[in-house]
């Protein structure tokens, strides 16, 4: 299954729409928080896509939206969080421990606005960066995951 992963839209939907339209073959879109309410607009624009999302530190009044969740995709356990709860701006130890406790094959997080991929034991840690406000010397970014029972491939794309 092809999955588009984005984070930190912060109310700016133009780049999110560009990413979705550039990748019509994705079946699922994961939003890792900070303006997760943008997903409601995206769901209206792309009703044929499945959306999963969690809230971030800039999300308020989101009702029953979860701060984290674990999904099963093609037999792989995928942990989703924004990352602020795990202090990912300082180090990755807490999110690695949480991913291990969830038996996750993939841990997805945002919050830092900097794209990163790292393999830790059996778990892939992936931060897609920010689709609206990059803090790296590269432009705004998102990731595409290609998840099968046999393997997981990940690639970053820049707007």
Higher-confidence residue of 30 and 139: namely 30
* pLDDT at residue 136 in the model: 76
pLDDT of residue 90: 95
The pLDDT value recorded for residue 135 is 80
- Which pLDDT belongs to residue 133? 83
What does the pLDDT look like over 107-120, one tens digit per residue? 999 999 999 999 99
Half-sphere exposure of 7 (CA within 13 A, CB side): 30
Domains: count for the chain: 1
Any bridge partners for residue 159, and if so which? Answer: none
Q: What percent of the chain shows pLDDT beyond 70? A: 100
- Residue 75 has a pLDDT of 96
Q: pLDDT tens-digit profile of 11-64?
A: 999 999 999 999 999 999 999 999 999 999 999 999 999 999 999 999 988 889
CATH number at residue 20: 3.60.21.10
Residue 78 has pLDDT above 90, yes or no: yes
* Domain range enclosing 135: 2-158
Asked whether residue 158 carries a pLDDT value surpassing 90, the answer given is yes
> In whole numbers, what is the pLDDT of the chain averaged over residues?
95
pLDDT range class, residue 123, cuts 50, 70, 90: very high
Based on its alpha-carbon atoms, the radius of gyration of the chain, rounded to whole angstroms, reads 14
Task: State the average pLDDT over residues 83-105.
Answer: 96
Burial bucket for residue 153 (CB in 10 Å: 0-12, 13-18, 19+): exposed
Strand pairing report for 115-120 and 28-31: unpaired
Continuous H helices in 81-145? 93-101
Q: How would you classify the pairing of strands 76-81 and 106-108?
A: parallel
Cα separation, 27 vs 3, whole angstroms = 6
Please give the pLDDT value at position 62. Answer: 83
Question: Measuring CA to CA, which residue among 82, 74, 71, 91 is closest to residue 130?
Answer: 82
């Amino acid at each position: 299954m092809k999955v588009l992963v984005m984070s930190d839209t912060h109310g700016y939907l133009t780049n999110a729409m560009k990413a979705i339209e550039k990748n019509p073959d994705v079946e699922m879109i994961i939003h890792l928080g900070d303006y997760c309410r943008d997903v409601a607009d995206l769901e209206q624009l792309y009703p044929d896509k499945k959306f999963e999302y969690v809230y971030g530190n800039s999300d308020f009044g989101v009702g029953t939206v979860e701060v984290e969740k674990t999904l099963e995709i093609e037999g792989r356990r995928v942990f989703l969080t924004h990352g602020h709860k795990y202090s990912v701006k300082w180090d990755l130890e807490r999110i690695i421990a949480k991913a291990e406790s969830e038996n996750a094959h993939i841990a997805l997080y945002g919050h830092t606005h900097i794209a990163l991929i790292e393999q830790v034991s059996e778990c892939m840690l992936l931060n897609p960066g920010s689709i609206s406000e990059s803090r790296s010397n590269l432009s705004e970014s998102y990731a595409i995951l290609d998840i099968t029972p046999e393997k997981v491939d990940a690639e970053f794309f820049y707007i």
